Amino acid sequence: MTEPALAPEQIRAELTDWVTRHWDPDMPLREWRELLAEAGWGAPSWPERWHGRGWPAWTDDFVGTELIALGAVGAPVGLGMTLAAPTLLAHGSDELKTRLVRPILTGEHTWCQLFSEPGAGSDLAGLSTSAAHDGDDWVINGQKVWNTSAHHADYGLLLARSDAAVPKHRGLTYFALPMHQPGVEARPLRQMNFHASFNEVFLTDARVPGDNVVGTEGDGWAVALTTLAYERRFGAMRPPAYDPRPGRVLDEARAESAAHFAVYSWYPQRAGRVDLVIEHAKAAGVADDPLIRQAIARLITLQRVSSWTADRARAARERGARPGAEGSVGKLALSNIAREAARVHSMIAGASALLTGPQSPMGGVIAEVLLSVPGQSIAGGTDEIQKNIIAEKVLGLPPEIRVDKDIPFNQIRFRG
Ligand SMILES: Cc1cc2nc3c(=O)[nH]c(=O)nc-3n(C[C@H](O)[C@H](O)[C@H](O)COP(=O)(O)OP(=O)(O)OC[C@H]3O[C@@H](n4cnc5c(N)ncnc54)[C@H](O)[C@@H]3O)c2cc1C
């Protein structure tokens, strides 16, 4: 591993020099990203062999921000970078990494997560989508649900049951599923906040090449835990603030970001819009109300404390620690803050919090907050599941009773 230039100012100087020599606003976005991958600037924390520099995790965000400040463009946004690449880097064969990691970094391939099923969400290891050998391929049958962006993804992170005769956690295999094939049908679902960001995905004799197994056959649970640990790191997602000047790279990057974030436009509302609380109270003429002031102060205090916990988790990652139980603490805090924010917005707006349209509080944003906040405590593992993880992994309490853990999956009796 190259001795890293870790001081931010050194990184900034090296990056600025590199951008000055390579930036051409008229080149295609993909070509620019190939240059980034070549130089290790797209994801500096990745190993040098896999288009990074082997630097600590914090350098990814730092370099991404610096590239935008320089008027350039960094790595793409999306599940490819946040979930697929870290999972492939941790568990994929060299052949799979060679084939799939670079197109993630260049933005050529987008990804979705095919984990949850109608009968398996929190109890993910109880999933029943089947994977059967067929020559060198695997054939997949079953149904997934809640799959964000599956309607336009190129690949899916698929967890499926390859052996029903062993206990549930041991019979799973993890695949990189090509989405554009006849056996894969993604149907968008309409949510109560009127958005349609996730899908149900029907898998009917869908095929996966044997080489697309991530990890080894039967080892899918361990691989899925890596993906889930990275998923709990998600905070509020914001589109990159690209330089507004015209130019082919920037135009294409803005279009890419707009397409990606169209699906996530309700996520800030899902997080409760704490940023709007004071403005909302002033607009509603209740900023002097002592009870509302107290509720606002409590909410903002919660948010500050949560951001310090996130900073602590980030510092741990910078020291090289893999994401752990602090992700669950942080995720639970985000749910509490979102719920508290919805409560405070409701206190401020009263019954008109339910109104939509231009005349309603904050132009309908408050109604969308109320309808979106429940999603915060479900996505990426529910609050109750985070509490179980904290109880067992952090507090060392006895594990939850799991009666179906050690018997073969095909002998488990299901309700209904
Ligand atoms: C916005 C959003 C985006 C999502 N995106 C994706 C995606 O891209 N890909 C994907 O695969 N999935 C996705 N999901 C699905 C998500 O991971 C599941 O909804 C979640 O894991 C919960 O599963 P479930 O909905 O089946 O609820 P269930 O597991 O049926 O839970 C129902 C209730 O029972 C409680 N419960 C269950 N088990 C326990 C227990 N052991 N102890 C205590 N309480 C328990 C839960 O906390 C919950 O309150 C998304 C969900 C949302 C809301």
Kindly give the pairing relationship between strand 172-178 and strand 198-209: unpaired
**pLDDT given for residue 3 in this prediction:** 53
Torsion angle defined by CA atoms of residues 142, 144, 150 and 156, in that order, rounded to the nearest 10 degrees: -70
**Which residues are known to be catalytic?**
231
**pLDDT given for residue 5 in this prediction:** 52
**pLDDT given for residue 324 in this prediction:** 66
Mean pLDDT for back-to-back runs of 10 residues, the chain (416 residues): 70 98 97 98 97 93 96 95 97 98 97 96 95 97 96 97 97 98 97 94 98 98 93 69 94 94 92 97 97 98 91 76 74 95 97 90 94 93 92 91 90 73
E runs forming strands in 190-243: 198-209, 213-214
Is the CB of residue 378 below 6 angstroms from any atom belonging to ligand 1? yes
**pLDDT given for residue 303 in this prediction:** 95
Compute the distance from residue 378 Cα to the ligand 1 centre, in Å.
5
Tokens of 346: 């409701």
Neighbours of 278 (CB within 10 A): 14
Compute the distance from residue 121 Cα to the ligand 1 centre, in Å.
4
Pocket probe mutation, ligand 1, options 378, 389, 400, 403, max atoms within 8 Å of Cβ = 378
Residue found by looking up tokens 């000047």 in the block: 245
Is the CB of residue 266 below 6 angstroms from any atom belonging to ligand 1? no
Tokens of 330: 């942080």
CB proximity list for 31: less than 8 A, separation 6 or greater: none
Cα 314 from chain centre: 16
3-state secondary structure of 147: strand
- Up-side HSE of residue 359: CA atoms within 13 Å toward CB? 1
Instruction: Tell me how far apart the alpha carbons of residues 233 and 328 are, in angstroms, rounded to a whole number.
Output: 9
3-state secondary structure of 139: strand
Which helix (H) or strand (E) element contains residue 304?
helix 290-318
Torsion angle defined by CA atoms of residues 143, 149, 154 and 158, in that order, rounded to the nearest 10 degrees: -40
Compute the distance from residue 124 Cα to the ligand 1 centre, in Å.
9
3-state secondary structure of 192: coil
**pLDDT given for residue 232 in this prediction:** 66
Instruction: Tell me how far apart the alpha carbons of residues 246 and 243 are, in angstroms, rounded to a whole number.
Output: 8
Is the CB of residue 146 below 6 angstroms from any atom belonging to ligand 1? yes
Residue found by looking up tokens 């699906």 in the block: 263
Distances (CA, A) of 23 to 14, 247, 372: 14, 11, 40
Pocket probe mutation, ligand 1, options 82, 113, 122, 203, max atoms within 8 Å of Cβ = 122
Residues in the chain: 416
Is the CB of residue 411 below 6 angstroms from any atom belonging to ligand 1? no
Instruction: Tell me how far apart the alpha carbons of residues 367 and 193 are, in angstroms, rounded to a whole number.
Output: 9
Neighbours of 344 (CB within 10 A): 23
Nearest-10 crossing angle of helices 58-69, 8-22:
50
Is the CB of residue 384 below 6 angstroms from any atom belonging to ligand 1? yes
Is the CB of residue 78 below 6 angstroms from any atom belonging to ligand 1? no
3-state secondary structure of 334: helix
**pLDDT given for residue 326 in this prediction:** 74
For the chain, report the end-to-end CA distance as a whole number of angstroms: 56
Instruction: Tell me how far apart the alpha carbons of residues 150 and 127 are, in angstroms, rounded to a whole number.
Output: 18
Compute the distance from residue 118 Cα to the ligand 1 centre, in Å.
10
Neighbours of 230 (CB within 10 A): 21
**DSSP designation for 246:** -
The atom of ligand 1 lying closest to the CA of 119 is: 26
